[in-house]
Structure 1
Amino acid sequence: MMALAVVAGALSLLTIADTASAQTRSNAQAEQSNRLRAQGSPSPTLPPSGRYVAESGEAFMIDRSGSRPLVRFERREETWVLRPTAAPRGDVIYRNDAGEQVLRVTQGGAITVFTARSPGGSPASYVGAGQSLAPPTLGPIRLWDLMARRSVMLSQALGRLIEINLDGDQSEALCVEALIVTTDAVARIARSPSSRSSLSGLRSITITEGARASVTYSRGRLVVVVDPSQGQAGRPSSSRVIRALLPEPRTPNR
């Protein structure tokens, strides 16, 4: 009977803790909604530009200066271009180009962010102004230096020469961003003991321009095509690169 009483007491405490946790989450989202309304967000389903911090501790930037909202997580070089899709109760889910949900925004403006650390979602709050997430322009000397450094990085990681090619004259900035995102994705796979074997045939990476963004991998050649007419939305994300390289795609660590 004593044991049963202890178990019952423990279950009661867990129930109270779960209720308190749910109440805390609800309060945080309500506070976020009020804050966004006070800032005059143009739409209840579009968070304003700025810096956000999730309850999980992850910080990220949102940039809405262009035609599509952009997101970049701190200490990451990739910018995610988001696409809205309707969800129940009037919510909007913002997904990347691989269809993975990144943000969920309620009608009241409360934001939930989804990452590898918090796949079930973590409430996020606006904490201040942010910076532009426009892609960088390097110029020819720094561009060649970047290509050389990225080639060395992957060659050392894989133990053989990995050739890097960049063929684009309409949007250098977009090609540079694609180069960084693609080589980072390959390096991430190379560090994974369970996935590294998928790169056994990789010999070259080519970034080029075309009429439609795409990623293909065949006979050791990884080709990433960017579409300058679409701006940053015309640059394939690391998720698409990973899906092209891995037989069984895994969620990237944003």
Structure 2
Amino acid sequence: MQTAAGRAICAALFGVAMLTFASSAGAGPADKLRDSLFKNRPGEVPGAPVGCFMSEDGRIFTLDRTQPSPLLKFEDSPEVWALLPSPAPRGDVIYKNDLGQPMLRATRLGGFTLFTDKRPSGEAVSRAGGCGPLRLMLISPQALGERMLQASVRSGRAARRAVLFEAEATPNSAALIADAALVVTLAYLRIASDGGRPMLAKVGKVQFSEGKKAQVSFSGGVLRIIVAPSQGLAGRPSSERVEKVLRTGK
């Protein structure tokens, strides 16, 4: 990893996500679900750009549309999902992850449907109050090194082998690379919990670099992650995308 002093190779224990949240916006009395819906854009219906919601199963999440790519974060996970909105029949909008999988559907009448692994056919969502937007906070080279160390050790423990994390970061990319390291760790943990340690044993190094578009690839024992700082949190692959590449090689 490149700091102010130069390049270093990191290995250590997983840490906290580097997302910081603006203070919660107060929800007025009798807020309606319609108020949480979308800005006036083609294929979307108007509404507040940020909202907190609860699914039928009681899972709480934040939906933030203040960024070019809508963001979704579940309360019980450190990962923030960058979503791609696409038009659906009857004027609805489907929000998909970077694998093209639907995560959320919104109707122009004000309803939401959340899609999860446990409920692939979807479950209804209701407003859970006000909340602030999702943001990456700026971090120092030293803090980046600590986050990389934390993430790489947690990944190594999941794989039961040492995993070297290596990156070349600039002030613009430091926070995004740190978040991408967290995302890699989440992918490692899921694969390890699903009996996938043999495939993780093939990875000896994780390399992070900057580019124009978020990418992930695996070859020669090296997992390569490219981040695009200009795209914000949409400029790094999701844990699902990293997991797919680790499992299939593409």
Task: Name the TM-score class by shorter chain.
Answer: 0.7 to 0.9
Q: What is the one-letter code of the residue matched to 1:112?
A: T
1:208: Cα distance to partner?
1.2
Alpha-carbon displacement from aligned partner over 1:80-114 (angstroms, at most 9, x marks no partner): 11111121222110101110101001121200011
Aligned twin of 2:227: 226
Aligned twin of 1:35: 32
SS at match of 1:134: strand
Q: What is the one-letter code of the residue matched to 1:132?
A: P
Match of 2:191 among 180, 189, 192: 189
Larger of the two Rg values belongs to structure:
1
Question: Please, which runs of 5 or more residues in structure 2 have no aligned partner?
Answer: 1-30
Change in 2 beyond 3 A, CA 1:55/1:160? same
Q: What is the one-letter code of the residue matched to 1:211?
A: K
Aligned twin of 2:136: 135
SS at match of 1:211: coil
Aligned pair 1:72/2:73, yes or no? yes
Alpha-carbon displacement from aligned partner over 1:38-81 (angstroms, at most 9, x marks no partner): 57864464663121000111110111221221100012111111
RMSD: 2.1
After superposition, residues 1-254 of structure 1 pair within 5 angstroms as: 35-37=32-34, 42-43=39-40, 45=45, 48=48, 49-169=50-170, 170-193=172-195, 195-247=196-248
Structure 2 contact 73–79 (Cα < 8 Å) conserved: yes
Name the CA distance, whole Å, in 2 between partners of 1:40 and 1:99: 21
Aligned twin of 2:19: none
Change in 2 beyond 3 A, CA 1:56/1:47? farther
Change in 2 beyond 3 A, CA 1:135/1:69? same
Structure 1 contact 84–93 (Cα < 8 Å) conserved: yes
Q: Which runs of 4+ in 1 moved over 3 A?
A: 36-48
Name the CA distance, whole Å, in 1 between partners of 2:46 and 2:202: 43
Change in 2 beyond 3 A, CA 1:38/1:97? closer
Change in 2 beyond 3 A, CA 1:85/1:38? closer
Question: Please, which runs of 5 or more residues in structure 1 have no aligned partner?
Answer: 1-33, 250-254
Aligned twin of 2:17: none
1:142: Cα distance to partner?
2.2
**Percent identity, aligned pairs only?**
37
Alpha-carbon displacement from aligned partner over 1:222-249 (angstroms, at most 9, x marks no partner): 0110112222221111121011111299
Structure 1 contact 36–47 (Cα < 8 Å) conserved: no
Structure 2 contact 36–127 (Cα < 8 Å) conserved: no
Q: What is the one-letter code of the residue matched to 1:189?
A: I
Higher relative contact order (CA 8 A, sep 6+): 2
| TM-score (norm. length: structure 1) | 0.78
Structure 1 contact 62–130 (Cα < 8 Å) conserved: no
Change in 2 beyond 3 A, CA 1:151/1:109? same
Structure 2 contact 161–201 (Cα < 8 Å) conserved: no
Name the CA distance, whole Å, in 1 between partners of 2:156 and 2:179: 20
The structure in which a higher percent of residues are strand is 2
Aligned residues: 215
- Higher mean alpha-carbon deviation, 182-191 vs 104-113, is at 182-191
Change in 2 beyond 3 A, CA 1:239/1:47? farther
Change in 2 beyond 3 A, CA 1:73/1:46? farther
